[in-house]
Amino acid sequence: MQKDQVYAAETLKSTREFAKSLGEVVRKYGFVIHNESNMDMAHSFGQHGAEVAEGFDLHMIQICKPEKASKSLSANPERAILMPKFIMTFSKDGKTQIRFLSFSEADIRAVVENDDAFPASLAETFTKIRSMIDEAV
């Protein structure tokens, strides 16, 4: 893995405010936040009886474009391993930190072999998600 595959940004918005802004942005482009009701990990862990440190505010935001994903996975379910796209947010030094892991075309091609169209298409989606993060910041 190369360091440039970890996209990092920050904002003065709280994790909740950023998630709300991101939700507005992604909808403009046909994406959805798939796990909107359970992206707040402090709440999710609490529902399972696990305690977290005071101030813990990690959000795991799953981005999906249902129209594209349904066609892609119908064409080849082997693609599913690379389909979940999560944006992580957390507080650090008074700012919200944003992280997104993406993969290069070569990495995608190595994971899902003999699928010529998928690597470029998924790499394009990763680029779009990074631009949506920038727009929401």
Long-range pairs of 102-110 with CB within 8 A, sequence gap ≥ 24: 102/5, 102/7, 102/126, 102/127, 102/129, 102/130, 103/5, 104/2, 104/5, 107/1, 107/5, 108/82
pTM of the model: 0.90
* Per-residue pLDDT tens over the stretch 56-83: 899 999 999 999 999 999 999 999 999 8
CATH topology of domain 3-136: TATA-Binding Protein (3.30.310)
* Per-residue pLDDT tens over the stretch 110-122: 999 999 999 999 9
* Per-residue pLDDT tens over the stretch 11-41: 999 998 999 999 999 999 999 999 988 889 9
